[in-house]
Amino acid sequence: MATYSKGSRALMISMRSGAAFPYTEMVQEWTGAWVHNSEFEVKQPQLTPRPVSADAQALEHAYPARTEFPVQDFISVTENGFGTPFFNSTSFSGQQQLANIQVVQPGHNLITGDSVRFQAVKTVMQGGGLNPVYGIGDIEQSAILTNDITATSTTINITPQNNNYSVSTNFPGTVASPGFVVIEKVNATTGRFENEVISYTGTTSNGTTAGSLTGCVRGTSTVFRGFTPPPTTANIHLAGAKLNGSRPVTVGTDNLFTPPITSFAALAKVGAWAVSDEEVIGGGLQCTYGPLNDRA
Protein backbone atom coordinates (compact mmCIF):
# COMPACT_ATOMS: atom_id res chain seq x y z
CA MET A 1 0.00 0.00 0.00
CA ALA A 2 1.38 3.40 -1.00
CA THR A 3 2.24 5.94 1.72
CA TYR A 4 2.85 9.67 1.60
CA SER A 5 6.29 11.14 1.91
CA LYS A 6 6.99 13.18 5.03
CA GLY A 7 8.24 16.04 2.85
CA SER A 8 11.10 16.86 5.14
CA ARG A 9 13.00 18.39 2.19
CA ALA A 10 10.00 19.62 0.23
CA LEU A 11 8.66 23.13 -0.19
CA MET A 12 5.06 24.28 -0.31
CA ILE A 13 3.51 27.50 -1.65
CA SER A 14 1.46 29.45 0.92
CA MET A 15 -2.08 30.15 -0.27
CA ARG A 16 -1.97 33.50 1.51
CA SER A 17 1.39 35.06 0.63
CA GLY A 18 2.43 32.91 -2.37
CA ALA A 19 5.83 32.39 -0.80
CA ALA A 20 7.51 29.00 -0.55
CA PHE A 21 8.01 27.52 2.89
CA PRO A 22 9.23 24.16 4.22
CA TYR A 23 6.48 21.64 3.76
CA THR A 24 6.61 20.51 7.42
CA GLU A 25 5.92 24.08 8.64
CA MET A 26 2.65 24.44 6.81
CA VAL A 27 -0.74 24.35 8.61
CA GLN A 28 -4.32 24.38 7.44
CA GLU A 29 -6.68 27.20 8.43
CA TRP A 30 -10.43 26.87 9.12
CA THR A 31 -11.09 27.96 5.49
CA GLY A 32 -9.14 24.97 4.20
CA ALA A 33 -6.23 27.14 2.99
CA TRP A 34 -2.67 25.96 3.64
CA VAL A 35 -0.42 28.67 5.05
CA HIS A 36 2.87 28.92 6.86
CA ASN A 37 2.53 28.70 10.65
CA SER A 38 3.72 32.32 10.90
CA GLU A 39 0.73 33.40 8.80
CA PHE A 40 -1.91 31.35 10.58
CA GLU A 41 -5.06 33.21 11.68
CA VAL A 42 -7.72 31.79 13.94
CA LYS A 43 -11.35 32.04 13.00
CA GLN A 44 -12.99 35.28 14.10
CA PRO A 45 -15.35 34.37 16.96
CA GLN A 46 -18.04 36.71 15.69
CA LEU A 47 -18.38 34.53 12.58
CA THR A 48 -19.93 31.79 14.74
CA PRO A 49 -21.83 33.49 17.57
CA ARG A 50 -23.36 31.31 20.27
CA PRO A 51 -27.14 30.98 20.17
CA VAL A 52 -28.84 33.34 22.62
CA SER A 53 -32.19 32.45 24.12
CA ALA A 54 -34.53 34.51 26.28
CA ASP A 55 -33.41 35.20 29.85
CA ALA A 56 -34.81 32.89 32.48
CA GLN A 57 -37.68 34.43 34.43
CA ALA A 58 -37.37 32.56 37.72
CA LEU A 59 -35.12 30.33 39.78
CA GLU A 60 -36.01 26.66 39.92
CA HIS A 61 -35.27 26.43 43.64
CA ALA A 62 -36.32 29.88 44.86
CA TYR A 63 -36.54 30.51 48.60
CA PRO A 64 -37.87 33.79 50.04
CA ALA A 65 -35.47 35.89 52.11
CA ARG A 66 -36.10 35.99 55.84
CA THR A 67 -37.25 39.34 57.22
CA GLU A 68 -35.02 40.10 60.17
CA PHE A 69 -36.82 41.69 63.12
CA PRO A 70 -34.97 44.69 64.62
CA VAL A 71 -32.81 44.13 67.67
CA GLN A 72 -31.71 46.36 70.52
CA ASP A 73 -29.61 49.45 69.68
CA PHE A 74 -27.31 51.39 71.99
CA ILE A 75 -28.61 54.76 73.19
CA SER A 76 -26.34 57.72 72.51
CA VAL A 77 -25.01 59.61 75.54
CA THR A 78 -23.49 62.53 73.63
CA GLU A 79 -26.55 64.09 71.99
CA ASN A 80 -28.45 65.55 74.96
CA GLY A 81 -25.57 67.37 76.68
CA PHE A 82 -25.78 65.38 79.93
CA GLY A 83 -23.53 62.43 79.09
CA THR A 84 -26.30 60.02 80.13
CA PRO A 85 -28.93 58.08 78.16
CA PHE A 86 -31.98 59.54 79.96
CA PHE A 87 -33.10 62.90 81.29
CA ASN A 88 -36.29 64.32 82.77
CA SER A 89 -38.92 66.71 81.44
CA THR A 90 -42.33 67.72 82.73
CA SER A 91 -45.69 68.52 81.23
CA PHE A 92 -49.22 69.10 82.45
CA SER A 93 -52.46 67.21 81.91
CA GLY A 94 -55.10 69.56 83.30
CA GLN A 95 -53.92 70.34 86.84
CA GLN A 96 -51.71 67.25 87.06
CA GLN A 97 -47.98 67.55 86.52
CA LEU A 98 -46.54 64.66 84.55
CA ALA A 99 -42.90 63.59 84.63
CA ASN A 100 -41.39 62.08 81.50
CA ILE A 101 -38.04 60.46 80.89
CA GLN A 102 -36.71 61.47 77.49
CA VAL A 103 -34.12 60.16 75.06
CA VAL A 104 -32.23 61.93 72.28
CA GLN A 105 -31.21 59.37 69.67
CA PRO A 106 -30.02 60.21 66.10
CA GLY A 107 -31.43 57.94 63.43
CA HIS A 108 -33.87 56.11 65.68
CA ASN A 109 -36.36 55.64 62.78
CA LEU A 110 -39.23 55.34 65.21
CA ILE A 111 -42.72 56.58 64.43
CA THR A 112 -45.49 57.77 66.69
CA GLY A 113 -47.36 54.77 68.07
CA ASP A 114 -44.35 52.43 68.24
CA SER A 115 -43.70 50.51 71.44
CA VAL A 116 -40.17 50.66 72.86
CA ARG A 117 -38.47 48.52 75.49
CA PHE A 118 -35.35 49.66 77.37
CA GLN A 119 -32.73 47.20 78.57
CA ALA A 120 -29.24 47.02 80.08
CA VAL A 121 -29.88 50.01 82.39
CA LYS A 122 -26.93 50.24 84.76
CA THR A 123 -27.85 53.00 87.23
CA VAL A 124 -30.91 54.70 88.69
CA MET A 125 -31.93 58.19 87.62
CA GLN A 126 -31.12 60.66 90.39
CA GLY A 127 -32.30 64.16 91.22
CA GLY A 128 -30.28 67.12 92.42
CA GLY A 129 -30.09 65.66 95.91
CA LEU A 130 -28.81 62.32 94.61
CA ASN A 131 -32.08 60.69 95.62
CA PRO A 132 -33.22 57.97 93.21
CA VAL A 133 -36.22 59.21 91.27
CA TYR A 134 -36.50 56.31 88.83
CA GLY A 135 -35.19 52.90 89.80
CA ILE A 136 -33.73 50.54 87.21
CA GLY A 137 -36.96 48.57 87.33
CA ASP A 138 -38.98 51.73 86.64
CA ILE A 139 -37.02 52.38 83.45
CA GLU A 140 -36.91 48.77 82.27
CA GLN A 141 -40.46 48.08 83.52
CA SER A 142 -39.19 44.83 84.97
CA ALA A 143 -41.20 42.39 87.09
CA ILE A 144 -41.61 38.67 87.74
CA LEU A 145 -44.76 36.55 87.81
CA THR A 146 -46.11 36.25 91.33
CA ASN A 147 -47.76 32.90 90.58
CA ASP A 148 -48.16 30.37 87.76
CA ILE A 149 -50.50 31.32 84.90
CA THR A 150 -52.26 29.23 82.28
CA ALA A 151 -52.40 29.96 78.55
CA THR A 152 -55.85 31.53 79.02
CA SER A 153 -55.31 33.67 82.14
CA THR A 154 -56.62 37.22 81.65
CA THR A 155 -55.38 38.60 84.99
CA ILE A 156 -51.65 38.32 85.62
CA ASN A 157 -50.21 38.97 89.08
CA ILE A 158 -46.73 40.49 89.02
CA THR A 159 -44.09 41.66 91.48
CA PRO A 160 -42.03 44.66 90.26
CA GLN A 161 -38.24 44.53 90.53
CA ASN A 162 -35.89 47.42 91.49
CA ASN A 163 -38.65 49.98 91.32
CA ASN A 164 -39.81 53.11 93.16
CA TYR A 165 -43.31 53.26 91.74
CA SER A 166 -46.39 51.07 91.57
CA VAL A 167 -47.55 48.64 88.90
CA SER A 168 -50.16 51.18 87.78
CA THR A 169 -47.48 53.81 87.27
CA ASN A 170 -44.92 51.63 85.51
CA PHE A 171 -47.39 49.70 83.37
CA PRO A 172 -49.79 52.24 81.89
CA GLY A 173 -52.52 50.60 79.87
CA THR A 174 -56.15 51.48 79.25
CA VAL A 175 -59.00 50.23 77.12
CA ALA A 176 -58.39 53.14 74.74
CA SER A 177 -54.62 52.60 74.71
CA PRO A 178 -53.65 49.03 75.74
CA GLY A 179 -50.22 48.38 77.17
CA PHE A 180 -47.94 45.52 76.13
CA VAL A 181 -45.62 43.24 78.12
CA VAL A 182 -43.47 40.26 77.23
CA ILE A 183 -42.92 37.14 79.33
CA GLU A 184 -39.59 35.50 78.57
CA LYS A 185 -39.52 31.72 78.19
CA VAL A 186 -37.01 29.21 76.83
CA ASN A 187 -38.15 25.73 75.81
CA ALA A 188 -36.28 23.34 78.08
CA THR A 189 -36.14 20.65 75.38
CA THR A 190 -35.31 22.59 72.21
CA GLY A 191 -33.57 25.60 73.78
CA ARG A 192 -35.63 27.91 71.56
CA PHE A 193 -37.16 31.15 72.80
CA GLU A 194 -40.93 30.97 73.29
CA ASN A 195 -41.54 34.51 74.52
CA GLU A 196 -45.15 35.63 74.73
CA VAL A 197 -46.35 39.19 74.15
CA ILE A 198 -49.51 40.12 76.05
CA SER A 199 -51.67 43.23 75.87
CA TYR A 200 -53.58 44.55 78.88
CA THR A 201 -56.14 47.28 79.49
CA GLY A 202 -55.87 47.91 83.23
CA THR A 203 -53.84 47.46 86.40
CA THR A 204 -54.22 47.10 90.13
CA SER A 205 -51.49 47.98 92.61
CA ASN A 206 -50.50 47.11 96.17
CA GLY A 207 -47.98 49.86 96.83
CA THR A 208 -44.66 49.18 95.13
CA THR A 209 -44.53 45.51 96.06
CA ALA A 210 -47.11 43.79 93.88
CA GLY A 211 -50.01 44.27 91.52
CA SER A 212 -51.91 42.84 88.58
CA LEU A 213 -52.37 43.36 84.87
CA THR A 214 -56.03 43.03 83.93
CA GLY A 215 -57.97 42.65 80.70
CA CYS A 216 -55.08 40.64 79.21
CA VAL A 217 -55.18 39.40 75.61
CA ARG A 218 -52.76 36.52 75.20
CA GLY A 219 -50.38 35.76 72.32
CA THR A 220 -50.26 39.17 70.66
CA SER A 221 -47.48 41.40 69.29
CA THR A 222 -46.81 45.13 69.13
CA VAL A 223 -45.40 47.50 66.55
CA PHE A 224 -41.79 48.74 66.37
CA ARG A 225 -40.55 51.10 63.64
CA GLY A 226 -43.87 50.69 61.89
CA PHE A 227 -43.57 46.89 61.65
CA THR A 228 -45.82 44.49 63.55
CA PRO A 229 -44.36 40.95 63.75
CA PRO A 230 -46.61 37.86 63.68
CA PRO A 231 -48.53 37.18 66.92
CA THR A 232 -46.76 35.16 69.58
CA THR A 233 -48.25 31.99 71.08
CA ALA A 234 -50.14 31.94 74.38
CA ASN A 235 -48.38 29.64 76.80
CA ILE A 236 -48.16 28.40 80.37
CA HIS A 237 -45.68 30.38 82.50
CA LEU A 238 -44.37 29.60 85.97
CA ALA A 239 -44.00 31.86 88.98
CA GLY A 240 -40.74 33.78 88.85
CA ALA A 241 -40.72 34.10 85.04
CA LYS A 242 -39.27 37.43 83.90
CA LEU A 243 -41.71 40.03 82.57
CA ASN A 244 -40.96 43.41 80.98
CA GLY A 245 -43.12 46.20 79.66
CA SER A 246 -42.90 48.78 76.91
CA ARG A 247 -43.90 52.41 76.42
CA PRO A 248 -45.74 53.96 73.47
CA VAL A 249 -43.71 56.52 71.56
CA THR A 250 -44.52 60.03 70.40
CA VAL A 251 -41.86 61.23 67.99
CA GLY A 252 -40.83 64.86 68.01
CA THR A 253 -38.07 67.03 66.58
CA ASP A 254 -34.31 67.05 67.21
CA ASN A 255 -34.02 63.25 67.42
CA LEU A 256 -36.28 63.06 70.50
CA PHE A 257 -38.78 60.36 71.33
CA THR A 258 -41.24 60.33 74.34
CA PRO A 259 -44.97 60.49 75.14
CA PRO A 260 -46.98 62.47 75.89
CA ILE A 261 -44.82 65.43 74.81
CA THR A 262 -42.74 65.74 71.63
CA SER A 263 -39.73 63.49 71.94
CA PHE A 264 -38.62 59.92 71.13
CA ALA A 265 -39.59 57.75 74.09
CA ALA A 266 -41.44 58.47 77.28
CA LEU A 267 -40.21 55.89 79.70
CA ALA A 268 -42.30 56.94 82.63
CA LYS A 269 -45.40 58.96 83.26
CA VAL A 270 -45.59 59.79 86.94
CA GLY A 271 -48.25 61.97 88.52
CA ALA A 272 -47.58 65.16 90.47
CA TRP A 273 -44.01 65.38 91.65
CA ALA A 274 -42.08 68.64 91.67
CA VAL A 275 -38.79 67.99 89.90
CA SER A 276 -37.70 70.66 87.43
CA ASP A 277 -36.92 69.80 83.85
CA GLU A 278 -33.55 68.20 83.16
CA GLU A 279 -32.56 67.91 86.85
CA VAL A 280 -32.97 64.15 86.80
CA ILE A 281 -30.51 62.18 84.70
CA GLY A 282 -28.97 58.72 84.67
CA GLY A 283 -29.07 55.25 83.18
CA GLY A 284 -25.36 54.48 82.84
CA LEU A 285 -23.54 52.89 79.87
CA GLN A 286 -24.55 51.25 77.60
CA CYS A 287 -28.35 51.29 77.75
CA THR A 288 -30.33 49.96 74.81
CA TYR A 289 -33.71 50.48 73.21
CA GLY A 290 -35.55 48.21 70.83
CA PRO A 291 -38.63 46.05 70.23
CA LEU A 292 -40.56 44.61 73.17
CA ASN A 293 -39.90 41.03 72.07
CA ASP A 294 -36.29 40.98 70.88
CA ARG A 295 -36.23 37.17 70.64
CA ALA A 296 -38.92 36.93 67.98
Which residue intervals of the chain are DSSP H helices?
Answer: 136-140, 167-170
Q: What is the pLDDT of residues 78-126, one digit of tens each?
A: 877 788 888 877 766 665 566 677 888 888 888 888 889 999 999 988 8
Q: What is the pLDDT of residue 201?
A: 94
Give residue 93's region: left, alpha or beta (phi > 0; psi -120 to 50).
Answer: beta
Say whether both 102 and 201 belong to one domain: yes
Specify the higher pLDDT residue, 109 or 211: 211
Q: What is the pLDDT of residue 231?
A: 93
Say whether both 153 and 78 belong to one domain: yes
Q: What is the pLDDT of residue 261?
A: 29
Enclosing domain of residue 133: 73-290
Q: What is the pLDDT of residues 43-84, one digit of tens each?
A: 988 888 888 888 877 888 888 877 677 788 998 888 777 888
Q: Out of 31-35, 181-185, 187-191, 211-215, which region has the weakest mean confidence (pLDDT)?
A: 187-191
Which residues, including other chains, have CB under 8 Å from residue 132's CB and lie 6 or more apart?
Answer: 124, 125, 126, 164
Say whether both 97 and 148 belong to one domain: yes
| Domains identified in the chain, total number | 2
Q: What is the pLDDT of residue 232?
A: 93
Say whether both 159 and 15 belong to one domain: no
Q: Is 139 helix (H, G, I), strand (E, B) or coil?
A: helix
Residue 243: pLDDT band (50, 70, 90) is very high
Q: What is the pLDDT of residue 145?
A: 96
Assess whether pLDDT exceeds 90 at residue 208.
no
Q: Out of 56-65, 227-236, 257-266, which region has the weakest mean confidence (pLDDT)?
A: 257-266
Q: What is the pLDDT of residue 234?
A: 94
Q: What is the pLDDT of residues 160-203, one digit of tens each?
A: 998 888 888 888 888 888 999 999 998 888 888 889 999 999 99
CA atoms of 248 and 215, how far apart (whole Å)? 18
Residue 6, domain member (yes or no): no
Residue 237, domain member (yes or no): yes
Say whether both 135 and 265 belong to one domain: yes
Residue 46, domain member (yes or no): no
